[in-house]
Amino acid sequence: MVRKQEEYIMTVKPVKVALIGSGNISYTYLNTLVNGGFHIVDVVGCSDLIPERSKARAELFGIRQMTNEEILNDPEIEIVLNTTQLWNHTAVTKMILEAGKNAYSEKAMGDTFEGAKSNYELAKSKGLFVGCAPDIYMGAAYQTGRKLIDDGAIGRPLIAHAMCCRGYNSHYAAGDPADPHAGSAGTTITHDMAGYYVNVLVSLLGPVKRASGYTKFYNERCYENPNHPRYKEPVSTEIGGLRRGDSIFLSALEFENGVFGSLTFNSESFFPEEPRVEIIGTEGILSLPDPNNFGGWGYDVYLKRVGNAKNGQNEVFRVPFTHGYGDTDPSIPPKSGKREPCHNSWRGLAVVDMAYALRRGRAPRSSADLALHTVEIIDAVERSMKDNQVHAIHSKPERPAPLTPGMFGMGEASIDNIF
């Protein structure tokens, strides 16, 4: 078996990959793709509008500093990662697809449904892949959760609860000239965080069929910082001439498989982060960790099952991971010597999967439909708030195929087997 896979690795041509947007999150992607031991990907280079940033990343990872044009005009490059800020995702992904390359974008696929849908159609018309982060559903915690559900550990799933509270203080944003779009519609907690929750829910339960709910920007506050130019004025509902993005969001979802779900976001409570994902079934409850983490280091999976009939007590288990790709030790500092968000994660696994998909002639797990699903659900809830209707969701992503159980670190043969 191992020999056969070694032969496969020797014969398969690695997929050349480049990255546009060499900011904070590019560190963890490049670390996975350059240092993760995935021979299927060959990272050529990275670009940024601010050349010092791409230079620093290129030097750190031993790849080429490139311009966007060099990346887009290089006929050898097959996948381009878009790790620019949210409000650039639509335009940069469009540029990648128009250059005839497969695109993988940071979340969300776009800051509007129309923008995301147009790239979905463009990719389809060109026969290209377009995928979107997050890929944490591929990590140890959520693959373990997936296996528990598929093995019947909670019986028949009935209800899914997903919630994220964050304290962005977004209402204080004064229209930073370096970040003129931050805080505007399409850039707040909904578009920033929904992908984490939607992707894991689709992996666990399948796609959402209908959505409705409530969503708004909470503006009953004044600017409280005496140094703010608008101190004591009410927080305005527009920012830099654009509509403020929503900060409170509560939705009701019906999944294709009959499960009812709720997805709640709130960025006004000043918690650093309060994430929840729970799947309630006929025979048990699965509590899953923050879908922003791959698993381990406090991000564990718990299963509550009805205990023995004699004492009637429930039993709660912390379930050991069945799969690899958990987070790595967060106390080990990034190689750059600077603070790098999510530096201990495996972000980029879906790019590896896309590379295998290209070579094996199959669909990638992080499909165009999965990418569009999040933005379509947010859009449906925003419309529901205005028209009091429940909206059908048209994107129907397949449940991404589960990964093979087994631990990372057993050589390329096991990695190839996993994907």
Ligand X SMILES: NC(=O)c1ccc[n+]([C@@H]2O[C@H](COP(=O)([O-])OP(=O)(O)OC[C@H]3O[C@@H](n4cnc5c(N)ncnc54)[C@H](O)[C@@H]3O)[C@@H](O)[C@H]2O)c1
Residues that bind ligand X (CB under 6 A): 20-25, 47-50, 53, 68, 83-86, 88, 92, 106-107, 192, 341-342
Asked whether 298 and 326 are in contact (CB, 8 A), the reply is: no
> Looking at beta carbons only, is 341 or 409 nearer to ligand X?
341
- Please, what is the minimum distance in Å from the beta carbon of residue 249 to ligand X? 17
Residue with tokens 């528990």: 148
Measured from the CB of residue 7, what is the shortest distance to ligand X in angstroms? 37
- Assess contact for 250 and 215: CB atoms under 8 A: yes
How far is Cα 375 from Cα 190, in angstroms, rounded to an integer? 9
Q: How far is the CB of 190 from ligand X (least distance, A)?
A: 12
Tokens 């940071």 identify what position?
106
Q: Which residue number, 291 or 296, has a Cβ lying nearer to ligand X? A: 291
Q: Shortest Cβ distance from residue 236 to ligand X (Å)?
A: 24
Q: How far is the CB of 389 from ligand X (least distance, A)?
A: 30
Cβ atoms of 79 and 351 closer than 8 Å:
yes
Which single residue brings its beta carbon nearest to ligand X?
23
Minimum distance, C-beta of residue 319 to ligand X, in the bound complex (Å): 26
Following CA atoms 86, 106, 42, 66 in sequence, which dihedral angle do they give, to the nearest 10 degrees? 0
Written as one letter, the residue type at 333 is: P
Place of tokens 């939705």: 251
Which of residues 74 and 416 has its CB atom nearest to ligand X in the complex? Answer: 74
Q: Any residues with CB less than 8 A from the CB of 199 and at least 6 apart, and which?
A: 134, 135, 136, 137, 291, 366, 370, 374
CA distance 139 to 158: 24
Q: How far is the CB of 20 from ligand X (least distance, A)?
A: 5
Q: Identify which of residues 176 and 398 has a Cβ nearer to ligand X in the complex.
A: 176
Strands of the 41-47 sheet, one edge to the other: 64-65, 41-47, 15-20, 77-82, 102-105, 130-132
Measured between alpha carbons, how far is 254 from 209 in angstroms, rounded to an integer? 6
In the bound complex, what is the minimum distance in angstroms from residue 325's beta carbon to ligand X?
A: 17
Which CB sits closer to ligand X, 21 or 206? 21
Cite the DSSP H helix spans in 242-399.
349-360, 368-387
Q: Which is nearer to ligand X, 65 or 384 (CB)?
A: 65
Query: Helix crossing, 349-360 with 26-35: angle to 10°?
Result: 50
CA nearest 380: which of 106, 108, 113, 107? 113
CB of 4 to ligand X, least distance (A): 37
Which position has the token pair 């509008």? 49
Compare residues 47 and 322 and give the one whose CB is closer to ligand X. 47
Q: In this complex, which beta carbon is closest to ligand X, that of residue 184 or of residue 287? A: 184
User: CB of 209: closest distance to ligand X in angstroms?
Assistant: 27
Please identify, using beta-carbon distances, which residue of 206 and 348 lies nearer to ligand X. Answer: 348
Of 86, 78, 89, the C-alpha closest to 118 is 89
Residue whose CB is less far from ligand X, 68 or 143: 68
Angle subtended by helix axes 51-61 and 26-35, to nearest 10: 30
